[in-house]
């Protein structure tokens, strides 16, 4: 499966070994339409999901109608992983397709049981999974750091600095509504604050990117 080559889950695993893993684990490809729920709060976890195509939103909906976006999953990344080695019996968030998606679903019992040969590629897959868990835990910690600040400008400043590349550019993989949900604010409030920051000479906003014009000033916003 050529879609697996860019995934960290199958890093350092050959094509032949990947084929054996997919057969042994009984992994299956599945497609979902835009807006479909791949799993929902309250469901019983039993699989690890690897996104092959499209984009998935990891979020939590509240009875008030508010949605908290935890993060977005891009092609090549896994999700549902925090339940893999834990003792949680039910999902406490949703996974929603924000486009048409193709997903590889792997029963997670496979990660717990090694065959009698103790295959090196099985060990490598589990090691890769542990590294992914560590990286994703760090991502959640960053999210907590962002939402714990007192003002929207501070939240934006932390998110911008964390997300920028070496050219002080932030590529927008979320639309304005998703970003507002991620930051825990109303969309109109987010739009107004972005325009204020642009007017103050801190950033330059375009449809797909945000350029940080004064990095030092932006960093000072949350010191």
CATH code of residue 58: 2.60.120.10
**Domain that residue 210 falls in:** 150-220
> pLDDT in tens for each of the 223 residues of the chain?
567 877 999 999 999 999 989 998 899 999 999 999 999 999 999 899 999 999 999 998 887 788 888 889 999 999 988 777 666 678 889 999 999 999 999 998 887 776 655 577 888 888 898 888 888 778 778 788 888 887 999 999 999 998 999 999 999 988 999 899 889 899 999 999 999 999 999 999 998 999 999 999 998 987 6
Query: In this structure, are 157 and 123 located in the same domain?
Result: no
Residues 37 and 89 in one domain: yes
Backbone phi and psi for residue 132, each to the nearest 5 degrees, phi listed first: -65, -40
Give burial (CB, 10 Å; 0-12/13-18/19+) of 100.
middle
Q: Would the pTM of this model clear 0.85, i.e. be above it?
A: no
């Amino acid at each position: 499966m050529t879609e697996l080559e860019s995934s960290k889950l199958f890093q350092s695993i050959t094509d032949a070994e990947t084929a054996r893993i997919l057969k042994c684990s009984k992994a299956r490809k599945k497609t979902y339409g835009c807006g479909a729920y791949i799993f929902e709060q309250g469901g019983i976890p039993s699989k690890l999901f690897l996104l092959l195509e499209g984009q998935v939103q990891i979020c939590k909906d509240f009875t008030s109608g508010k949605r908290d976006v935890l993060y977005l999953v891009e092609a090549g990344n896994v999700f549902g992983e925090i339940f893999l080695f834990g003792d949680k019996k039910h999902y406490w968030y949703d996974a929603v397709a924000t486009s048409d998606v193709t997903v590889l679903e792997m029963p997670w019992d496979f990660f717990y049981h090694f065959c009698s040969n103790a295959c090196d590629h099985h060990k490598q897959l589990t090691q890769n999974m542990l590294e992914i868990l560590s990286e994703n835990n760090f991502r959640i910690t960053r999210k907590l750091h962002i939402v714990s600040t007192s003002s929207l400008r501070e939240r934006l400043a932390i998110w911008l600095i964390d997300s920028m590349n070496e050219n002080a550019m932030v590529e927008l993989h979320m639309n304005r509504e998703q970003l507002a949900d991620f930051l825990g604010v109303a969309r109109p409030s987010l739009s107004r604050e972005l325009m204020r920051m642009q007017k103050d000479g801190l950033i330059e906003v375009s449809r797909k990117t945000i350029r940080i014009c004064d990095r030092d000033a932006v960093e000072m916003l949350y010191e």
